[in-house]
Every structure is written in structure tokens, then in C-alpha cells.
Chains A and B, each alone.
Chain A
Amino acid sequence: MLVLPQKREFNFFIFIILIIFIISLRTPSFLDINNFMDILNDTAILSMVAIGQLMIIVTGGIDLSVDASLALTGMSVALLNQHYPEIPIFIIILISITMGLLLGSINGLLVSQAKIPPIITTLGTMSIYRGLVFVICKGTWVSAHEMTEAFREFPRRSFLGISNLIFIAILIIVLFLIFLSLTKTGREIYGVGGNKTAAQYVGINLNKINYLVFTLCGGITGLAGFLWVARYAAAQSETAIGFNLQTIAACVIGGVSITGGSGTVIGVVLGAFFIGIVYDSLTMINVSPFWQMAIQGFIILFAIIINTIMDKRNQQLLLRKRSFNE
């Protein structure tokens, strides 16, 4: 029952269709199948990492270090590939996931054991991880010709016209959809965000959940790090800078409550897709890319305000219903 999209997601979906319709009136090439594949490829990484971010925001936290840990794993595997080209690609993938899990678990430990608020923890680790990227690459780039072809081509390689990148994203989405809505631990994550004290009284281990969400997010981010570097065929110390804000934007646009407790995987995926459409259409109608940041900030603020107003209204409706029943 929980897998079914809820009303908000459905409305949002209709809204996205409408937007696509309006844009395609202005630029018919927007509806081209290749363009659509491009948008899907562009949003694949975003939606994966945004799902990791979703889990953290649902527990009432936030992770600002995703872009830095993405860059750090990406740079590490790129350097690995450059110096040891004989390592097979699936080992590289395993290494990137493991490294991501490790970086995420550092965040998780600091939050759950040292009791540092997530915002501060990840602000700190963001600068540490970002600095480490610079240290390990010594300020240089790893560019396309220094990577093996298997490495570079992995995200692009397609099966039935759908690229590996999209397949992996779909796999992650389905996996976490099931995890968050149908497993006990998944439901506990929502419980922690809804009401910490109540969650503790029903026997949910807060520390365990906090540690788990950061570690899982790290794992996804690590995988995304490899995919990012391979897809853009470049690793540098500024890779993915500002990407953390994009993942948060995808979450709040997808209806995730920033105070925790509510938000769905489908909503977040739609949110990421929406961002993809907006950026793509901006380039289609020749708006300078310098507008992206401002528009992203505006969308975040707008979405947060709308979410808050909707939440309040829903609560009032609920109260009214309750008093009516009594």
C-alpha cells in the first residue's frame, strides 16, 4: 500500500507534465527522445544521491558533505584507474561504494556518538573531504585520456537503448523504495524523524538509525562519485561543487519536510527530474548557465514555504476532522 504514490506526488507529476507541455510549445525539440534520454542521464546521479539525502532529512538531519565525499571517491577511483589500469571495473565500483560507506560512516559516528548536530558535522567534513581531494590530486586533473576506456564508457554503455547509468539509478530507486516503505528499519527511519522521544519509547535505537542513514547515504554517494567522474570523463578538485544544494533542492521540491518525518522516494525522484527539466529547458531557450544557482535558490525557498503552508493546512484539516468526529 505504501508503494502507491500519494496524492501530492500525483499532483506534482501532473504539474511536471504541464511544464513539459508548455516548454515544448516554445521549443518543439524539447520533446525529442534523445533530449529526454539526456535529461534522464543528467538526473540519474542527482536522484540517487537525493535518495540518500532524503533518508537523512527524514530523520531530521541534513548532509552538506555529499558533494565533497562524491568528489573524494570520484578522484580516488580516477587516480586508481590512472595508475593501475588493469583493475577491472567491477572492483572499482566496489571500491567506490566501500569508500563512500566509510566516509558516510565517519559522519554517522560523529552525529550518533559524538552528538554533534548533523549540520555542523557535515559542514566540517565537507571542508575536510574537499581539502583531501586537493591533497590527493595535488591540484591536478585526471582527464579523459588518462582513464581507461572501460572506465570512461561504463555509464554510457547501453542495453536496449537505456544506459548503465539509468539502470543503476532505477536499481537504487527500487531498492530504497522497498527498503523505506516495506522494511522495519525503513519505517523506523520515519519514526525517528516524526517524533524522537516517541521513537525512543517504542524501542527504536536512535543512534543506530542515525548512523545507518549517514552510512547508507555515503554508500550511494560513493557509487555516484565513480559514475560522475566516468560520465564527465574528468576528475578535479572542484568536481561537483555545490551539488549538495541540488540534492537538498530535489528533496524539498519533492515534498520532503525539512524538519523530518515525511517524504517519499517517488517524490524525491520527481523533484530531481523537475530540476533536470528546468536546467535543460534553460539551455534550450538560451538562458546563461549563470542563472542556475539563483533559480535553484529561489526554487528551494519557494518549495520550503509551500511545503510549510501545506503542512499547516493539513494539520488544521486533521484537527477539524477529529473534533467533528467527536
Chain B
Amino acid sequence: MNKPKTLVNKSNILALEKIRKINLLNILLKWEIILLSIFIAIIIVNSNLSPYFLDYNNLMNTTFNFIEKAIIALPMMLVIIGGDIDISVASIIALSSVFMGMASRAGVGTFGLITVGLFTGLVAGFLNGFIITKFGIPAIAVTLGSMSLFRGIAYVILGDKAFTKYPKSFAYFGQGYIGNTMIPFELVLFIVLAIIFGIVLHKTTLGRKVFVIGNNSTTANFSGVAVNKIRLIIFTVIGFCSGLSSILLTSRIGSTRPNIADGWELEIITTVVLGGVVITGGQGNIFGVIISVFIIGFLKFGMGLINIPGKVMTIIIGLLLILAIMLPELLKRIKPKNNINKIYSGVR
């Protein structure tokens, strides 16, 4: 038998790996620097446009408006790095919130409400993950269906009514501050979660496996990574975090309507993608996502201060999403010939 001619040998791979690492590092570094400069630019522009922007209390209080989304952006980062997507998150929020409302009407206390909220999210996320992995259906198709199903259930239960009675102590989660400081409880929760997700993604084997799955799930499967098990876990986690976010949101606005958190999936995915997570999976990093959370949050805060209507903000968020993904492709077009491509094409 003829041996196929190939350039793939050990030293070659090592050399490639080295170049790839340096290159990746450069890109990441660049992307984060870009993000940071955007962030600083937004702060400068905003504080020039409105004198109320650079106020410690205002800045702390505006975090209430985006931390709930940020808490879902963290697991969404895992989902997208793993090569999947979940567009049912906002509907899970609605479902959790409705169930909490029902529980509250039945006289369940604060602790019980939290359990209900978290559990609903967990089950909903597990259901998504189960259908996706068990039947091998693309995540986009399944979560599209469950997006309609979960919010539909919320509409069936609530119709055109609303739940408004929640216990007083329940309000702390979405409105409370840590001690006597002006630091919101939500913000601290987000920081803790961000640290946990950062460690899991970048310092554990589980995190490495997520990257491997996102790069090539078939290869991952043949290398002994329990692909479907990990995907199931990730989808359950994102469901759980959506439940958590639902608790914070419900507690903050103190009422539940079936259209609660409508359209959030767009903003959450935008945050993650703007943070440098590659939409096709396999690349991304926690710092980018965290900076991106604050970029979008402060951008919207600033736009709100100068009276830009919410519908116009969604246009800007939509544009931001498309531009953020287009940028790498555009950069590639500007300099189509670089070394790394040559070496890779040689291997192929």
C-alpha cells in the first residue's frame, strides 16, 4: 500500500501549535484592547453628553439594568464556544417568573420562590439539552421550538393578567445593596459567577473540553470526550442561570407579565459575540465577555440619558451584533496573505 504523502508529523504540529498560540494570543490581545478602547470611548462620550453619567451612584444603579442579562451571558459563552446556541433563554425567564408568581400566590415564602425559580430554569434547560443530545438535532432548531413553547406556557397561564404579589423579603435579590454600601447585590453575584465561569472555562479540563467540542465535535468524540454529556451539562447550566436571572428580574420589577424579558436573547448573544467569542465555536475568553457586558450596559445607559427610545436602541444593538461578527472577516480580507494560512494550506 502506498503511504499517503503528508506534511503532518510531530515536529510540524508542534511548530504549528507554537505559531497558532502566538497568533491567537495576538488576536485576543488585540480584540481586548479594541474592546477596552471602545469602553473608554463610550465613557468619555457619555460623560460629555450628559453630566449625570459619571456619577458613582448612577453608575452603580445602572448595573441593575444589565446584570440580569450578563448572568446569562456567562453560560451563553460556554454554549457558543461549544459550537451551539440557545435562543430560548428569555422564554425560560418568563416561564420561571410565571411559576414563581403562581407559587407566591399560593403563599410560598421567599426561600421557596427561589427554589421554584431555579428548579424551573434547571428543568427547562435540561429539557433543551436532552432533546438536542438524545435525538442529535441542532440546538438552534430545538431552542427555537422551546422558545415558543416556554413563553407560550407563560401566556397560557397568565393570559393578559399579571402576578404582582411577592413577599417583601423577596425584593432584596433584585433591589438590595450589600450592607450600607451602594454596591448592588446583583453586581456582587455577577462578579462571583464570572470568577467561577472564568476558572471553569480556562483552568479546568471541563473548560478545555468545551473548546475541543467547539472546534471539532467529531474529533472530540473520537478522542474520548463525552461530547453529549458535556453539552447536556452546559444546556442545564444555562437553564439554571436563566432561572437565577429570572429571580433577580422578578424581584427587581416586582411583577410578572408573560412578555417579561422579551427579546433578551438578541442582546445576550450580541454581548457574547462582541466579547470576541467566535460564533462558530472553539474560540473565546471570559475577559472579552465581561468587558462587552459593560460596554453594552453603559452604551444603553448613555443612550437612555440622552432620551433615545428603546426601539432605536435595538437597531443599534442589532447593528453592533452584525458589525462585531463582520470585523474579523473584513480584517481577513484586508490582509489575505499571512504566514499562518500558508502553513495550514500546506498541511491540508
Residues of A at the B interface (CB closer than 8 Å) are 62, 110, 114-117, 119-121, 123-128, 130-132, 134-135, 139, 237, 242, 245, 248-249, 252, 258-259, 288, 290-298, 300-301, 304-305, 308-309
Contacts and interface: CB of A to CB of B under 8 A. Distances in A.
Given A301-B131, A308-B135, A128 B319 contact: yes
A125 to B, nearest CB: 7
Given A135-B312, A242-B148, A300-B144, 13 more contacts: A124-B318, A124-B322, A127-B318, A130-B314, A131-B318, A134-B312, A135-B315, A245-B148, A258-B138, A290-B159, A293-B148, A294-B153, A304-B141
Contact of A120 (B150, B269, B309): B269
B140 interface: yes
A305 B315 contact: no
B22 to A, nearest CB: 25
26 contacts: A116-B326, A116-B329, A120-B269, A120-B322, A123-B269, A123-B321, A127-B266, A127-B317, A135-B312, A139-B311, A252-B141, A259-B138, A290-B160, A291-B156, A293-B152, A296-B152, A297-B149, A297-B150, A297-B151, A298-B149, A301-B145, A301-B146, A304-B141, A304-B145, A305-B131, A308-B136
A128 B321 CA distance: 10
Given A127-B314, A131-B318, A291-B152, A258 B326 contact: no
Contacts of A300: 144-145, 148-149
Contact of B152 (A135, A237, A292, A305): A292
Contacts of B135: 305, 308-309
Contact of A110 (B158, B273, B326): B326
Contact of A121 (B280, B312, B322): B322
B269 to A, nearest CB: 7
B325 A116 contact: yes
B119 interface: no
A245 B318 contact: no
A279 B113 CA distance: 35
Contact of B315 (A110, A132, A290, A308): A132
B280 A117 contact: yes
Main SS of chain B's interface residues? Answer: helix
Contacts of A116: 279, 322, 325-326, 329
Interface residues of B, number: 48
Contact of A294 (B85, B156, B273): B156
Contacts of A119: 85, 140
Contacts of A115: 329
A127 B269 CA distance: 13
A248 B147 CA distance: 13
Nearest to A241: B262
Most chain B CB neighbours (cut-off 10 Å) among A121, A248, A308: A308
A110 B306 CA distance: 31
Most chain B CB neighbours (cut-off 10 Å) among A248, A293, A300, A305: A293
Contacts of A288: 156, 159
B148 A296 contact: yes
Interface in B264-322: 265-266, 269-270, 273, 279-280, 309, 311-312, 314-315, 317-319, 321-322
A127 B149 contact: no
